């Protein structure tokens, strides 16, 4: 994995530019901490969060939507637009108008997405692929944050 970062003061929105294996990701600022969001999602998966519910075992859980990661998690209806979510930063521009844009985030080099993996009906593969993507993004963000920290003059 090759990670490069750039401070993006020259961009109108500010933020950081994260480049992982030649994929450029503009990290927006939206008040939530993207690192905590991704770490929370990884923890949720590792604790079996996408397993069938005891109350609704006939209904499969939707990745991201049925997790505390989602801005609309606690709402019966979509109270917040998806473009306000940090995950939109990872969605290709041509998929941002989809009903569930985060399901079109490319998770690996072959272009697998949550949408394509859900069609395969292989929950283990979906979770394995998503966990690998989350770990890569978490590591990339940690690297960027470490590299952009101001040196501590007292050290």
What is the spatial distance between Cα 83 and Cα 13, in angstroms, rounded to a whole number? 15
Mean pLDDT of the 100-113 span: 95
Mean pLDDT of the 104-128 span: 93
Domains of the chain: which residue ranges?
A: 32-148
pLDDT > 60? residue 28: no
Under the banding of pLDDT at 50, 70 and 90, the label for residue 77 is confident
What is the spatial distance between Cα 27 and Cα 140, in angstroms, rounded to a whole number? 12
pLDDT > 80? residue 103: yes
pLDDT > 80? residue 37: yes
Q: Which of 21-30, 91-100, 101-110 has the least mean pLDDT?
A: 21-30
Average pLDDT over all residues of the chain: 78
């Amino acid at each position: 994995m090759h990670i490069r970062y750039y401070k993006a003061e020259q961009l109108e929105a500010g933020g950081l530019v994260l480049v992982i294996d030649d994929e450029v990701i503009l990290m927006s600022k939206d008040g939530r901490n993207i690192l905590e969001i991704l770490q929370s999602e990884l923890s949720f998966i590792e604790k079996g969060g996408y397993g069938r519910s005891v109350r609704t075992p006939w209904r499969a859980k939707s990745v991201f939507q049925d997790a505390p990661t989602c801005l609309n998690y606690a709402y019966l209806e979509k109270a917040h637009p998806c473009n306000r979510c940090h995950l939109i930063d990872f969605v290709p521009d041509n998929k941002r108008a989809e009903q569930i844009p985060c399901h079109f985030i490319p998770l690996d080099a072959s272009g697998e997405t949550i949408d394509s993996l859900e069609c395969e009906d292989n929950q283990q593969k979906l979770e394995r692929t998503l966990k690998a993507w989350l770990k890569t993004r978490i590591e990339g963000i940690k690297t960027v944050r470490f590299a952009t920290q101001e040196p501590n003059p007292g050290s």
